[in-house]
Amino acid sequence: MIIVTGGAGFIGSNLVAALEAKHKGSQDIVVVDRLGTDEKWCNIAKRDLAAIVPPERFFDFLMAHASEIDVIFHMGAVSSTTETDADLIVRENVTLPLDLWRWCADHDVRLIYASSAATYGDGANGFDDDFSPAAQAKLRPLNAYGWSKHLFDRRAVALAGRGDHPPQWAGLKFFNVYGPNEYHKGSMQSVVAHNTPKIVAGEPARLFKSYRPDYEHGGQLRDFVFVDDCVDVMLWLEDTPEVSGIYNIGSGKARSFADLARAIFSALDLEPKIEWIDMPEALREKYQYFTEASMGRLRSAGWPGQSTPLEEGVRRYVQEHLTAEDPYR
C-alpha cells in the first residue's frame, strides 16, 4: 500500500496519477485529503483508489493497516505563503509531520515529504541543500509557512542524526512548481495558470513591476520547475530506498517572469503583450528577486533525470491542460 497525503492537491494528485500508471494495480493507493466544496475532487476523478481518508482519521487508518503500508508520501500541508494563523501552521506543518515521522520510524515505513524552497528566505545564504545543522541554522525564512517547513527539516535532521528515523526519509525542497491540477489553488496558482485564460481572452500578461534598480520589470528570477519533474524524482526515490536526506527539487536554472510570460504567448502562437502592475506594498519587503536550486546533492545521490526546459513545460501545460476540453490529469 502507498499513501499520499494531500493526494487531491496539486503535486499530490500528479504523483497519484504517476503511481497508478507505474504500479498498474499491483499496489493499493490511498489518498489522505480534504476535498471541500469546490472542484478539488476533479484532480483525482480519473484515479482508481483504495480509499480516500479524511485527515482527522489518518492515524486511525495507519494503525488499522500498519502491516500493509510500504511508503508514505506526505504532500499535505498548509501551503499558503500568506497564511497568518501561526498556530494552524504549526499544527499542520510541524506537529502532524513529527507524529507521522515517529509512526513511520516505529513501524518501519518509508517517508518522503514535501519541504519548500521558502525555507531559504531571501536567498542571502544561497540555495544549497546542505542539511548539516550549521548550514540549517543560517537560514531565515520570510514567512510563517517557510519557517514551519524549516523547523520540521531541522527536527528531521536532528532525529536522523540520533538514529531515530524511518528506514528511508527524504525532505524535498520544491521550488516554483507549475503544471496541471492547480486549478483549485485560487490566488496561489502559478503565473502560468493565472495568465493563460486572460491571454486567451485577448488581455496582456500582467506581471509585477520591479522595485530594485538591478532588476528590470519582469526580470525577477525564479527556478520554475514542471510538476512532472518533481514527480519523477519521487518515483526515483521510491525505487531507491537507500537514499535519504534533504534535497532541492528545481530545474537548476533561474529564468525571468518575462521569459515565462513569453513562453505562454509562444504556446498560444500569439505575439507577446505584457503589462507591468504594482506589487502590493505588503509583499515588497519580503519579495524574492532570485531563486535557483542547487541540484548537485541530488545528482550525487544518483538522480539520473533531466529537467524539462521552461518553454517545453509551459507549452505542454498550456496546450494539453489549460486550453484543453478536459484539463485535469
Assigned C-alpha cell, 179: 503544471
For 73, 97, 152, 250, 318, the CA distances from 172, given in Å and listed in that order, are 11, 14, 12, 10, 26
**Position of cell 472542484?**
39
CA distance linking residue 176 with residue 192, whole number of Å: 11
For 59, 110, 173, 229, 298, the CA distances from 164, given in Å and listed in that order, are 20, 13, 22, 30, 23
In the chain, what is the straight-line distance between the N-terminal and C-terminal CA atoms, in Å? Answer: 22
> Taken in order 141, 147, 153, 158, is the CA torsion positive or negative?
positive
**Rounded to 5 degrees, what are φ and ψ at 170?**
-150, 125
Q: Which one, of 302, 301, 291, 304, lies nearest residue 252 by Cα?
A: 291
Assess whether 185 carries a catalytic annotation: yes
> Taken in order 238, 19, 196, 315, is the CA torsion positive or negative?
positive
In the beta sheet, which residues pair with residue 219?
Answer: none
Determine contact, residues 75/5, Cβ cutoff 8 Å. yes
Assigned C-alpha cell, 142: 520570510
Secondary structure of residue 172 in the 3-state scheme = strand
Query: Which of 40, 113, 120, 145 is an active site residue?
Result: 145
Supply the residues annotated as catalytic: 145, 185
